[in-house]
């Protein structure tokens, strides 16, 4: 068997690195003995579904499971290693699912924008005004609920409006307006 110096040096380096990692891990981690706990945790009549364990006669549960069961919000900041538990912000507004958000002056004007089930819709008045602002005339066909932008007799663009449940107004989603109609009016 031929002695290979390179293999020996590589082997020694690997062993040195591995032993250094083991020493570092021993310093960073402390081994404790815990028992899986079969305790049922109930918060205000609702069972908390989370693993828990027993250590030094104390039951430990995940902070998120307990906080959420109490109706609290949990945020974690990885840069500071801080978990923050706070009251949930009461926001009666439905989360907006629209891709685009209309400018604030339109949102606050019910003649232009309607928000339903988290989606912004623009009303016929809004579309007509935007067509006129672009220098075109508009025509609305009640039968098909379609609005046309006209340059003389030529149709520049058209959009079919919809009626929302329990709303008598013709609308289109604001996202559709931004993507399909607005570019044609510039």
- Sheet of 146-151, strands arranged across: 137-141, 146-151, 154-160
- pTM strictly above 0.85: no
φ, ψ dihedrals at 62, nearest 5°: -65, 135
φ, ψ dihedrals at 44, nearest 5°: 50, 45
Q: Where are the domains of the chain?
A: 35-87, 104-185
Per-residue model confidence as pLDDT tens digits over 59-98: 888 877 777 777 777 777 777 888 888 877 655 444 566 6
Helix (H, G, I), strand (E, B) or coil at 178: helix
Per-residue model confidence as pLDDT tens digits over 98-115: 678 888 777 766 678 888
Per-residue model confidence as pLDDT tens digits over 20-35: 555 555 556 778 887 8
Mean pLDDT rounded to a whole number for the chain = 78
Evaluate if residue 137 carries a pLDDT over 80. Answer: yes
Measured distance CA(59)–CA(166) in Å, rounded: 52
């Amino acid at each position: 068997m031929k002695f290979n110096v390179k293999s020996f040096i590589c082997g020694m380096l690997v062993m040195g690195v591995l032993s250094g990692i083991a020493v570092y891990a021993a310093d960073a981690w402390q081994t404790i003995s815990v028992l899986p706990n079969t305790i049922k945790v109930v918060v205000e009549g609702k069972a908390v579904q989370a693993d828990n364990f027993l250590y030094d006669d104390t039951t430990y549960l995940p902070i998120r499971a307990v906080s959420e069961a109490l109706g609290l919000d949990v945020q974690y900041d990885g840069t500071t290693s801080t978990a923050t538990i706070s009251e949930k912000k009461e926001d009666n507004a439905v989360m907006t699912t629209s891709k685009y958000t209309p400018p604030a002056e339109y949102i606050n004007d019910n003649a232009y924008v309607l928000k339903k089930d988290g989606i912004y819709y623009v009303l016929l008045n809004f579309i007509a005004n935007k067509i006129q602002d672009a220098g075109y005339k508009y025509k609305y066909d009640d039968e098909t609920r379609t609005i046309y932008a006209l340059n003389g007799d030529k149709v520049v663009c058209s959009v079919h409006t919809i009626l929302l449940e329990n709303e008598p107004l013709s609308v289109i989603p604001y996202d559709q307006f931004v993507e399909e109609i607005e570019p044609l009016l510039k």
